């Protein structure tokens, strides 16, 4: 059975700066996922990294193990900006991310594409199993519903367009020249928004020049493409520079903008494209993504009603998700029950047939009659327990499901009982474990998963082996 518990951590714009998010992020999502899977306690892993978040999730064999593994990701980050998430909080948060409720620009559309790409990365390295796959699929479903059934993305505001709005509040863009560094999705959105704001000349710089040429050909103004090596040659003509690449190193430092004159630079990249020291250059103003807060506050207020609709949608979808986990748990218990019954049935049929054959010839029709009768007995005997197990899952009655597993799968719970009895022996290493202690250990093993040690609660549908040891 699937016995893992989900643990998650996030460092995001709601409490962390750009520098802190950058410190929390790995080289890329694949690298983070592979590092998490290297730990034997982790069976599944997922990570999503964008310009304003670095998040990671694992399915581990215990809460303590999950937190330990995730904690290694944030050694260079202040504890007060790291948010730890338990099983259900992780599932709900993933829905909120996909729906755009956790974005810097409330309801922005970019995140759903980024979310899907992160899922494909995780699938590509074999990091998703039944627990995370189910939760992530539901999150994508919620994100898509939010955008088709509510007005959470009304006006298609994005981080790129928010950057253009910020630029409008500080300089006159009418007739200006703009330089956009990066021809990806965010660069495209920034370029289009700058043109809409009145820019009459656009220069697009990109590592791959054909991509820059394609973007330049799509905007409705004079535009041209250059390589990253040619950036310095156009800085003096640009009134505004927007950077949005995934380049690992600074593309602009103080020496690059020293002779640029009056220039507004908005760095949307993660990690940063612009050395913060560049802001010390006279006549050069450098903003990072944190500066967009003032612009995005207006969008948040305008979309407040839609956000409430999405919150209600998430509540309903979350309940459906939890019910699906419970049904799967009940189905696994039922499957184990039927497998045990089938083994007994097959053994007893063979015994009966052997005895009947010893008494005389047994026709094929007679053998089929015996097998049919055995099938009917199994079906009738297990009908009521099957119904009870499904009801138990819905009602969070873990003890009933656990009892069924112990009855039909003798190996279920043996490890937990052994661990509990070992603990009892450790309390009195000089003596033998008494019958009362053994009984107490069995009770501890049976009930240990109903709540986690400390404050962390593991839901009843998360199975026995996820105890917080």
Q: Which residues contact 57 (CB under 8 A, 6 or more apart)?
A: 6, 7, 8, 45, 46, 47, 90, 94, 132
pLDDT score at 155:
65
Question: Is 83 contained in some domain?
Answer: yes
What pLDDT is stored for residue 409 in this prediction?
A: 63
DSSP 249: S
Shared domain check, 196 and 78: no
Do 245 and 105 sit in the same domain of this protein? no
Q: pLDDT tens digits for 37-82?
A: 999 999 999 999 998 899 999 999 889 999 999 998 888 888 899 9
pLDDT score recorded for residue 303: 84
Q: Is the same domain home to 53 and 136?
A: yes
If asked whether residues 119 and 83 sit together in one domain, one would say yes
Question: 282 and 192 in one domain?
Answer: yes
* Residues with Cβ within 8 Å of residue 466, at least 6 apart in sequence: 3, 4, 5, 60, 61, 62, 63, 449, 458
Is 78 within the bounds of a domain?
Answer: yes
Q: Is residue 243 located within the same domain as residue 380?
A: no
Rounded to two decimals, the pTM is: 0.71
Q: Residue 150's domain spans which residues?
A: 5-154
Q: Is residue 405 over pLDDT 80?
A: no
Would the CA dihedral through 215, 221, 225, 226 be positive or negative?
negative
Tens of pLDDT, residues 90-120: 999 999 999 999 998 888 888 999 999 999 9
d(C-alpha 373, C-alpha 334), whole Å: 21
Q: Residue 258 falls within a domain, yes or no? A: yes
Assess whether 86 and 204 both reside in one domain.
no
Co-location of 125 and 231 in the same domain = no
Strands 5-12 and 83-85: antiparallel
Active site (annotated) includes residue 7: no
What pLDDT is stored for residue 427 in this prediction?
Answer: 39
With vertex at residue 43, the alpha carbon angle to CA 393 and CA 394, rounded to the nearest 5 degrees, is 5
Report the CATH number that the domain containing residue 216 is assigned in CATH: 3.40.50.720
- The answer to whether residues 163 and 135 belong to one domain is no
Catalytic residue among 16, 48, 51, 289: 51
Buried b / exposed e over 455-465, threshold 16 CB at 10 Å, is ebbbbbbbbbb
- Structurally, the chain folds into a number of domains equal to 3
Q: What is the phi-psi region of residue 198: left when phi exceeds 0, alpha when psi lies from -120 to 50, beta otherwise?
A: left
DSSP string over 323-385: HHHHHHHHHHHHHHHHHHHHHHHHHHHHHHHHHHHHHS---HHHHHHHHHHHHHHHHHHHHHH
Is 435 within the bounds of a domain? yes
The two tokens of residue 437 are 């202690």
User: Looking at per-residue confidence, does 242 or 247 come out higher?
Assistant: 242
Instruction: Tell me the pairing of strands 240-243 and 177-181.
Output: parallel
Query: Could you tell me if residue 306 is inside a domain?
Result: no
pLDDT tens digits, one per residue of 223-234? 999 999 999 999
Give me the chain's average pLDDT, please: 84
Task: Determine contact, residues 60/69, Cβ cutoff 8 Å.
Answer: yes
Q: Which CATH number do you get for residue 39?
A: 3.30.460.30
**Domain check: are 180 and 268 in the same one?**
yes
Q: Do 149 and 264 lie in a common domain?
A: no
In terms of domains, do 133 and 172 share one?
A: no
How many CA atoms does the CB half-sphere of 260 hold within 13 Å? 32
% of the chain surpassing 90 pLDDT: 50
Q: How high is the pLDDT of residue 398?
A: 63
pLDDT band for 462, please (50, 70, 90 cuts). low
Q: Is residue 107 part of a domain?
A: yes
């Amino acid at each position: 059975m699937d016995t893992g518990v989900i643990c998650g951590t996030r460092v995001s714009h709601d409490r962390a700066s750009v520098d802190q998010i950058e410190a929390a992020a790995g080289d890329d999502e694949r690298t983070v996922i592979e590092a998490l899977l290297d730990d034997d306690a982790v069976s599944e892993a997922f990570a999503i990294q964008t310009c304003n978040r670095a998040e990671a999730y694992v399915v581990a064999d215990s809460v303590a193990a999950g937190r330990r593994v995730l904690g290694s990701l944030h050694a260079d980050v202040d504890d007060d900006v790291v948010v730890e998430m338990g099983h259900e909080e992780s599932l709900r948060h993933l829905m909120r991310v996909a729906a755009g409720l956790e974005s810097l620009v409330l309801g922005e559309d970019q995140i759903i594409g980024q979310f899907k790409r992160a899922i494909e990365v995780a699938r590509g390295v074999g990091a998703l199993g039944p627990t995370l796959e189910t939760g992530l699929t539901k999150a994508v479903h919620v994100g898509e519903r939010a955008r088709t059934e509510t007005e959470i993305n009304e006006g298609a505001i994005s981080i790129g367009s928010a950057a253009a709005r910020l630029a409008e509040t500080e300089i006159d863009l009418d007739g200006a020249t703009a330089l956009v560094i990066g021809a990806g999705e965010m660069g495209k959105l920034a370029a289009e928004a700058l043109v809409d704001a009145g820019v009459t000349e656009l220069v697009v710089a990109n590592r791959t020049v054909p991509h820059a040429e394609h973007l330049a050909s799509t905007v409705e103004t004079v535009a041209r493409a250059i390589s990253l090596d040619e950036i310095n040659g156009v800085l003096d003509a640009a009134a505004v520079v927007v950077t949005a690449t995934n380049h690992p190193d600074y593309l602009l430092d103080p020496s690059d903008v020293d002779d640029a004159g009056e220039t507004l630079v908005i760095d949307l990249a993660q990690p940063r494209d612009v050395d913060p020291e560049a802001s010390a250059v006279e006549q050069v103003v450098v903003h990072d993504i944190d500066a967009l807060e003032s612009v995005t506050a207006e969008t948040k207020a305008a979309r407040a009603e839609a956000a409430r609709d999405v919150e209600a949608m998430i509540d309903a979808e979350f309940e459906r998700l939890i019910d699906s986990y419970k049904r799967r748990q009940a189905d696994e218990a039922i499957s184990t029950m039927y497998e045990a019954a089938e083994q007994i049935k097959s053994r007893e049929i063979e015994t009966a047939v052997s005895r009947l054959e010893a008494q005389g010839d047994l026709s094929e029709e007679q053998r089929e009659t015996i097998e049919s009768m055995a099938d009917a007995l199994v079906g009738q005997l297990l009908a009521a327990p099957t119904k009870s197990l499904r009801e138990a899952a819905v009602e969070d009655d873990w003890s009933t499901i656990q009892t069924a597993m112990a009855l039909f799968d003798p190996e279920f719970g043996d490890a937990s009982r052994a661990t509990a009895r070992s603990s009892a022996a450790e309390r009195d290493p000089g003596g033998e474990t008494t019958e009362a202690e053994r009984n107490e250990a069995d009770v501890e093993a049976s009930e240990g998963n109903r709540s986690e040690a400390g404050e962390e609660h593991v839901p009843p549908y998360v199975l026995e082996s996820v105890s917080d040891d």
